[in-house]
Amino acid sequence: MKRWTLWVPLALFVSFCALAAYQLTRPKTEFVASTMIGKPLPEFALRAAVADRPALSSADFRDGKPRLFNIFASWCIPCAAEAPQLEALRRRGADIVSVAIRDHPEDVAYFLARYGNPYSKIGADDLSEVQLGIGSSGVPETFVIDGKGVIRYQHIGDIRASDVPVLLEKLEEARR
């Protein structure tokens, strides 16, 4: 055995330690980000999730107006937590459409009655088809879609108060 080969195990171990130490200092990425940013929405046409809001289809996004696309569900607790922020976004001029994932109409109606309804259209995504189609991996998530129906930005998790200006800015960017 050559002398230098005796140091190979130590060298490998040191690189492992360096990698592990680096990973320990970084916050763990828990989310799977969509890789659909910059790509157009897939084609879909969903039925309405509740009686008092129209249904949602991919064609609705191509009217030249950028909007927020919220993925939520009545059974999801963080979705209730982000309701005030969505309301704030709506008041500041954002058009918000949404899909309800795997939900009963009466549950959605109850949820909206209790936490507020900032949505102009709500589709029912009973098989998570739209969710899978845009690369979303959980609820809630919020996407910024531009006027041509292209996905521009993804926000994962519930919207905190500090995220509101970020989303408004992304919406503004999508207008250009």
Interface positions with other proteins (CB under 8 A): 1, 3, 6-7, 9-10, 13-14, 16-17, 19-25, 28-30, 32-36, 39, 73, 75-77, 101-104, 107, 126-129, 131-135, 137-138
Nearer to other proteins, 19 or 59 (CB): 19
Q: How far is the CB of 40 from other proteins (least distance, A)?
A: 12
Nearer to other proteins, 147 or 157 (CB): 157
Nearer to other proteins, 14 or 59 (CB): 14
Q: How far is the CB of 35 from other proteins (least distance, A)?
A: 5
Give the closest residue to 143 by CA, choosing from 31, 27, 38, 47: 38
Give the closest residue to 68 by CA, choosing from 82, 84, 89, 49: 89
H-helix or E-strand containing 110?
helix 105-115
Q: How far is the CB of 99 from other proteins (least distance, A)?
A: 13
Q: How far is the CB of 4 from other proteins (least distance, A)?
A: 9
CA distances to 10, 15, 25 from 19, in Å: 14, 6, 10
Q: How far is the CB of 109 from other proteins (least distance, A)?
A: 14
Nearer to other proteins, 64 or 78 (CB): 78
Nearer to other proteins, 20 or 51 (CB): 20
